[in-house]
Structure 1
């Protein structure tokens, strides 16, 4: 049996030589980031699929507070039975350099027991950042990518009905101040910590601009001097993002997903000569009903019992020699020769790592 398809795909993708990548693909600029926003709101206009207010008292409390702000005073002690309202959490990401008046997408998620948000409308909801300041206001009709119906105890549902989106449903009210490059320098942050790649980025920047304006602070951060003018700074950073750099070969690593049996390894994995013995053990349990029927007119009762048969099968393992492999294709070929299932391969790889024959870091997720 072959190793999982993910392992074979990794072998094909990693077979070629290292290629150059743009700096914008392997690094980000410090300070240029998104900010998470969240808010609590109400979705109205549902077709009887809203929260059951007896089990979600916060929904009725929110409706009462909203009506009071609109000048509607409810009699004390009233028990509202609402079916078309749902309490929701509204989340969004504020992109870098977003300005007031810009629209951003929002995600609306039910926090009560609403059956569906389909067809609902989000009432004006303030979205706050981690500093409790309002950065956007969200409102609009939801788009729910699902459908469902139920009757007489039967239910059919396609996709998820408790979450919807509103494209450009929030309007930015406050921008996040950014001091990018105003101090005369910016920091490039590599997405993967690597001293060799950091050194190559420094060399590429300095070679392109003909001066020593870049220097590596560590294996992840590269400091680059920038022009003082805003227009010149934007053009300068755009030129840096477009520079090509050949990243260093990644550290040899094998990723094992113990839940699915998937195994992925990069091209730096090497295998020393080793011997592996692999066998399989299976337990088969077969249970059949045995019915004892009494004779006619004997006033006996029919008795049903079960009879189980248990069988254990074990295939003898063979000691196989795995030759030393310096390329990923050879490693895959050697592991395929064992004939192990993906689940068995997990134990074999761990044993190879423990013996020192597998030249790679083993990570189980």
Structure 2
């Protein structure tokens, strides 16, 4: 064997190793902070809701004939102020709108703290722009009042109408009040009284739960954390509140090795969006996909009788149906162990996202797509 032949065989061997390395080379793990993949059980926000009135509108409020609850709310508010509306009075309140006020009460919120609120129209108000929300109690799921909301609305839209024509930019029947509610009552959290807390992972993964427990034990000592299952990790806390705060601050910034995620393809059937994560792999397969279109044209045909024949004019329709099927060539798709290889193989088909919905499902059924399909 000549030196040139040995060199050729060596180059062929190196090329084979480079091509086959992608089939067995593991996917690099990603390091993230603990606060990004887990949350403390019981430390969460609570939803608040209330019914109120927005006043000061420029004739764009509710039409009381179609929304009688707006007039009833105004009458009840006036009675609380000592003003009695005579029974049977038809109030035309063009500057008032009934609204639903929502807010999120953050964890550890204390009385006097300001939170943002969102205001949405309940009736048929044309616009809430320029309105003012009067004092509205916000209640939780237990029916207790946790905040009071009031303030001027910020509406990110504009509109004008005249002579039957209308121009509108963005949405006018919803707005927001920054720092528009004051917390009146806090939600008690038991984490200061309990000897331990529980971290809940965002995804069910035993490997990630083990990595979280190992990282905490390595940073705070053996026996501090224990993985209960694929989603929960139990952590023992110090005794004093100050030590607990410092302890939790250290845990939030711990670097966690998530390992290899589960291969998953997310399909949105309504919009045609398709998202693949880095663990999706593709086996060798062959795909042929063609489009089928059916066109129906209907043309009216008038049958006119002869003069003095006492016949009737008849209108019929002539339908022309055409079926067009574009040929789909058989394309061989090589195996791909990386996301870039899978994307290149799918782009070689030249299919639209709607066509890829059917192609990916067929590839999954054939065993060529190593991933879980999830339709949202």
User: Normalization by structure 1: what TM-score?
Assistant: 0.88
Cα deviation for residue 310 of structure 1 reads: 4.6
Quote the Cα distance in structure 2 between the aligned partners of 1:260 and 1:62: 41
What corresponds to 1:346 in structure 2? 357
Quote the Cα distance in structure 2 between the aligned partners of 1:338 and 1:123: 59
Moved more, 99-108 or 241-250: 241-250
What corresponds to 2:149 in structure 1? 138
Cα deviation for residue 282 of structure 1 reads: 2.8
- Of 104, 108, 129 in structure 1, the residue corresponding to residue 140 of structure 2 is 129
- 1:232 counterpart = 2:236: no
What corresponds to 2:42 in structure 1? 31
Quote the Cα distance in structure 1 between the aligned partners of 2:135 and 2:270: 43
Quote the Cα distance in structure 2 between the aligned partners of 1:315 and 1:239: 61
- 1:194 counterpart = 2:205: yes
Cα deviation for residue 339 of structure 1 reads: 2.2
Q: Relative to structure 1, is the Cα distance of residues 305 and 155 closer, same or farther in structure 2, using a 3 angstrom cutoff? A: farther
- State the secondary structure of the residue aligned to 1:279: coil
What corresponds to 2:102 in structure 1? 91
In structure 2, stretches of 5+ residues that fail to align are: 1-25, 303-314
- 1:335 counterpart = 2:335: no
- State the secondary structure of the residue aligned to 1:278: coil
Q: Deviations over 1:195-232 (max 9, x none)?
A: 00000011101011122110011111111111110111
Q: Higher helix fraction: Structure 1 or Structure 2?
A: 2
Quote the Cα distance in structure 1 between the aligned partners of 2:201 and 2:189: 20
Q: Would the aligned equivalents of 1:187 and 1:224 in 2 still touch at CA under 8 Å?
A: yes
User: Normalization by structure 2: what TM-score?
Assistant: 0.86
- Of 228, 242, 245 in structure 1, the residue corresponding to residue 253 of structure 2 is 242
Quote the Cα distance in structure 2 between the aligned partners of 1:288 and 1:158: 41
Question: Which one has a bigger Cα radius of gyration?
Answer: 2
Quote the Cα distance in structure 2 between the aligned partners of 1:178 and 1:55: 45
Cα deviation for residue 166 of structure 1 reads: 0.8
Quote the Cα distance in structure 2 between the aligned partners of 1:104 and 1:263: 37
What corresponds to 1:117 in structure 2? 128
- How many residue pairs end up in the alignment? 343
Q: Deviations over 1:39-87 (max 9, x none)?
A: 0001111111100001111111111111011000111211111111100
Q: Would the aligned equivalents of 1:194 and 1:248 in 2 still touch at CA under 8 Å?
A: no
What corresponds to 1:17 in structure 2? 28
Q: Would the aligned equivalents of 2:286 and 2:332 in 1 still touch at CA under 8 Å?
A: yes
Cα deviation for residue 305 of structure 1 reads: 9.9
Quote the Cα distance in structure 1 between the aligned partners of 2:124 and 2:145: 28
